[in-house]
Amino acid sequence: MPLLKIQKAARLALKDYMGLEESENLLVIADPKMREIALAIYEAGIIIAKEAFYIEMREREVNGEEPPEQIADLMKAVDVVVAVTSKSLTHTNARREASKNGVRVGTMPGITEETMIRCLNGNIDKVLEITKKVHNAFQNVSKVKVLAKHGTNVTFDTTNRKSVASTGILRNIGESGNLPSGEVYIAPVENSVNGIIAFDASIANLGVLTHPVYIEVKNGVIKKISGRGGDARLFGKLVNRYGEKSKTVGEFGIGTNPYAKVCGEILEDEKVLGTVHFAFGNNISFGGTIDVAFHIDGIISKPTVYFDDKIIMEDGKLLLE
């Protein structure tokens, strides 16, 4: 991939999305697998920021696993953090504490050069427009139903839960989110999720799926996982890691980024316009009650979605004015 395109995307990430100023300090967190992209971000930061710091840690085992205490402390001591890591730091105490301190935190778990160039060079206003429409439609919704061709048929309650509009634009004090982004997500009432979820596009840590993975959920908790091939078995091993907490539905989200494509990296996959996703595990960052060092997303393509019995998406096409 041409170096100039990566350098341009890195500058866009810091200036246009994170709003990094010349008076601010930047911390870039990486692991060995993500070193090349992380260094591009760091090198752009040296030019823009007052000071830029680069630090590596070993790769975390799962999304949501905490970074070392020393890095968590550093995260609270700067103005902007960009985490270019293999596993997500979004749903960690370290990220939450940094945000409480007023730090702007952009997380880029598993990002590829292709995703960086494709999504960060897209029209920001278009992503904002679609995200706003979905977020507005989600206001005061109590009941959600999701259907899809591979057998997804699931309902859940969102009473008194607030949806989050994630655009990737993180310019205000304490803001955090994925970079790039483009989704609206919510924490369903934990014991309200019932039905079948059939992931047919991709699952975090597993990549693009060869066969759908079927998940039976009762009162918010996984009761059965099935599917052809090895993906269902591997997914089962992951979600059983912490018992019932990691088997509980923690998130429902709708992709709003027209530039994103399903590529096997969940950072981009969950943002694809025309998809929805469910995640299991931690959701205390956005209004839920599940506190566990684990968070795993799966993607459903071309779903039909109802908000309080009103259809807002049909076979992956948004039906919003």
pLDDT digits (tens, 9 = 90+) for 32-91: 999 999 999 999 999 999 999 999 999 999 999 999 999 999 999 999 999 999 999 999
Question: Residue 2: what pLDDT?
Answer: 67
E strand or H helix at 125:
helix 124-137
φ and ψ of 162, to 5 deg: -100, 135
Percent of the chain with pLDDT over 70: 99
pLDDT at 310 over 90: yes
Question: Residue 4: what pLDDT?
Answer: 85
* Tens digits of residue pLDDT in 141-168: 999 999 999 999 999 999 999 999 999 9
Question: Residue 198: what pLDDT?
Answer: 98
Nearest CA to 297 out of 321, 264, 319, 259 is that of 264
Neighbouring C-beta atoms of residue 223, cutoff 10 Å? 10
Question: Residue 27: what pLDDT?
Answer: 98
Nearest CA to 65 out of 284, 222, 248, 282 is that of 282
The band of 236, judged by pLDDT with boundaries at 50, 70 and 90, is very high
Pairing of strands 221-226, 213-218: antiparallel
Question: Residue 141: what pLDDT?
Answer: 97
Question: Residue 3: what pLDDT?
Answer: 72
Identity of the residue numbered 180: P
Once rounded to an integer, what is the mean pLDDT over residues 260-277?
A: 97
The CA-based diameter of the chain, rounded to the nearest angstrom, is 54
For residue 220, is it left (φ>0), alpha (ψ between -120 and 50) or beta? left
* Tens digits of residue pLDDT in 272-303: 999 999 999 999 999 999 999 999 999 999 99
E strand or H helix at 177:
strand 176-178
Question: Residue 122: what pLDDT?
Answer: 85
Question: Residue 28: what pLDDT?
Answer: 98
Once rounded to an integer, what is the mean pLDDT over residues 233-250?
A: 96
> What is the pTM (predicted TM-score) of this model?
0.90
Question: Residue 24: what pLDDT?
Answer: 98
The band of 265, judged by pLDDT with boundaries at 50, 70 and 90, is very high
Which two structure tokens, joined as six digits, stand for 83? 């985490």
Asked whether the bond before 180 is cis by omega within 30 degrees of 0, the reply is yes
